[in-house]
Amino acid sequence: QLQLVESGGGLVQPGGSMRLSCTASGWPLREYAIGWSRQAPGKGRERISCISASGNSTSYSDSVKGRFTITRDNAKNTVYLQMNSLKPEERDVYYCVIGNDTDCSGNTPHGADKWGQGTQVTVST
């Protein structure tokens, strides 16, 4: 059974950097596109980035473009989100999601329906 686990969240100062990881167990991530979303309390989930199964195609929301980078290591069954120049308003729970084929649709995988439990990122002094 597929289980996605996010890690790497915590406290970072404004302007700082952090790398999140999404690791799968019970499922070969290499066959699927993977995305990252985030959600603040009381707000909807924002789709911020996606990477194709091969890793050759990536996409980003305008809010993170130029600051965040999504990569994957299929040998480790892990997808990463490198976040730079973090802002206080980006204090959210970050989730990874797996799609049902190899490609992204906008900033989310095709058929995205399996989510991790999320990891909290707090950007504060």
Give yes or no for a contact between 49 and 42, defined as CB atoms under 8 angstroms apart. no
Alpha-carbon distance of 72 to 26, in angstroms, equals 17
Q: Over its length of 125 residues, how does the chain's per-residue pLDDT go in tens digits? A: 888 999 999 999 999 999 999 999 888 889 999 999 999 989 999 999 999 999 999 999 999 999 999 999 999 999 999 999 999 999 999 999 999 999 999 899 999 889 999 999 999 99
What is the model's pLDDT at position 103?
96
What is the model's pLDDT at position 10?
97
What is the model's pLDDT at position 113?
83
Among 91, 88, 113, which residue's Cα sits nearest to residue 100? Answer: 113
Alpha-carbon distance of 32 to 74, in angstroms, equals 10
What is the model's pLDDT at position 35?
97
What is the model's pLDDT at position 2?
84
